[in-house]
Amino acid sequence: MLELGYFLQQCLNGLSLGMLYGLIALGYTMVYGIVGMINFAHGEVFMLSAFLAFLAFVGLQDAGVMSLAVCIVGMFLFSMAITALYGYALEAVAYKPLRSAPRLAPLITAIGMSILFQNFVQLTQGAQVKALPPLLTGTNILGMFDHFAVTVSDTQIVLFISTLVTAVVLYAVIHKTPLGRAQRACAQDAKMASLLGISVNRVIAITFMMGAVGAAVAGVMVTLYYGVLDFYMGFLVGMKAFTAAVLGGIGSLEGALLGGVLLGLIETLWSAYFGADYKNVAAFGVLIFVLMVRPSGLLGRPTLEKV
């Protein structure tokens, strides 16, 4: 199908998927920008946040809360708060003791924490798939193109707003606040920042928590958008979000969102026109091509090693 309306609808769907990737990619790029390490347990942090949102909804319903708006706000607040604590604990257990160790050590530890989180959710929530009925069922018609109605759902609208608000808040914190100046100082030279009175440990811990909050927003939106959860869902989504961060330029907030949107569009358009069997091959193939042409990513800057 080559109709304009069908193409526009798939672009809109790809933009929605890409924003989910971008929200998770923000955590990867923030942690890497500060400590120069990849948090490969971040996908499982996203998975935990989705289950927390599910539990918050069930708990509010059991408590007799019937207002949909209150339930959704409660899902966001509960998931963001608890996931931030998970991010703090992850940094304290898996990264802080190994900060001066060889780079391979925290990588292996992060993979171990990823497996730990998966099994923790499997044991506490069971291996069965959790399903949540659609909460936002409204659909809005944007226009008719070639007799094809292009629509946007209420869930997609909430997703767009949530992503933009999260990105703007993180950008403002990093570029307009004393905490952000401390984060940028630690990213540039942690030892010098420490000599200037900045608590490097505190800054890194808060950065992990901020990245976890971005993953929590994505987890809530996945719960609302798809309504299907399982303990293994964080692995592939986490890898794709990491791909988005690298594609856009690891260490760049704008690059994380750009990479997520591009990855979502590639997957969706490939699935729509060529079938979903090889959508992952197409996405990772584009990543390989971009890195061959521009190793630092689309918006990343080449790093210089001091010798």
- Is residue 25 within 8 Å of residue 55, measured between CB atoms? no
Q: Has residue 284 been placed in a domain?
A: no
Instruction: Using the predicted structure, report yes or no on whether residue 175 has a pLDDT greater than 70.
Output: yes
| Model pTM score | 0.91
Report pLDDT digits (tens) over 226-274. 889 999 899 889 888 998 998 888 888 888 999 999 999 999 999 988 8
- Calpha distance 301→72 (Å, rounded): 38
At residue 47, φ and ψ (nearest 5 deg) are: -60, -45
Instruction: Using the predicted structure, report yes or no on whether residue 305 has a pLDDT greater than 60.
Output: no
Structure confidence at residue 285 (pLDDT): 85
Report pLDDT digits (tens) over 269-301. 999 888 888 888 888 888 888 888 888 888 876
Buried b (16+ CB within 10 A) or exposed e, 32-68: bbbbebbbbbbbbbbbbbbbbbbbbbeebeeeeeeee
Structure confidence at residue 2 (pLDDT): 64
Instruction: Using the predicted structure, report yes or no on whether residue 85 has a pLDDT greater than 90.
Output: yes
- Is residue 7 within 8 Å of residue 205, measured between CB atoms? no
Structure confidence at residue 103 (pLDDT): 77
Segments forming the whole domain that contains residue 99: 22-233
Structure confidence at residue 289 (pLDDT): 84
Q: Has residue 87 been placed in a domain?
A: yes
Structure confidence at residue 302 (pLDDT): 61
Q: Has residue 286 been placed in a domain?
A: no
Instruction: Using the predicted structure, report yes or no on whether residue 307 has a pLDDT greater than 60.
Output: no
Give start and end residues of each alpha helix (H) in 36-153.
Answer: 42-62, 68-90, 104-125
The number of folded domains in the chain is 1
Mean pLDDT of 99-106: 81
Instruction: Using the predicted structure, report yes or no on whether residue 106 has a pLDDT greater than 70.
Output: yes
Question: Cα dihedral angle (239, 241, 247, 252), rounded to 10 degrees?
Answer: -130
Question: Would you give the DSSP letter of residue 306?
Answer: -
Q: Has residue 136 been placed in a domain?
A: yes
Instruction: Using the predicted structure, report yes or no on whether residue 82 has a pLDDT greater than 90.
Output: yes
Q: Has residue 12 been placed in a domain?
A: no
**Average model confidence (pLDDT) for the chain?**
88
Q: Has residue 89 been placed in a domain?
A: yes
Instruction: Using the predicted structure, report yes or no on whether residue 108 has a pLDDT greater than 50.
Output: yes
- Sole residue written with tokens 């767009």: 160
Q: Has residue 153 been placed in a domain?
A: yes
| Percentage of residues in the chain having pLDDT higher than 70 | 97
User: Which residue in 244, 299, 235, 198 sits closest to 27, CA to CA?
Assistant: 244
Where are the extended beta strands (E) located within the chain?
Answer: 130-131, 139-145, 148-153, 228-229
Report pLDDT digits (tens) over 6-36. 888 999 999 999 999 999 999 899 888 887 7
Report pLDDT digits (tens) over 182-233. 988 988 888 888 988 899 999 999 999 999 999 999 999 999 988 899 998 9
Q: Has residue 300 been placed in a domain?
A: no
Structure confidence at residue 306 (pLDDT): 42
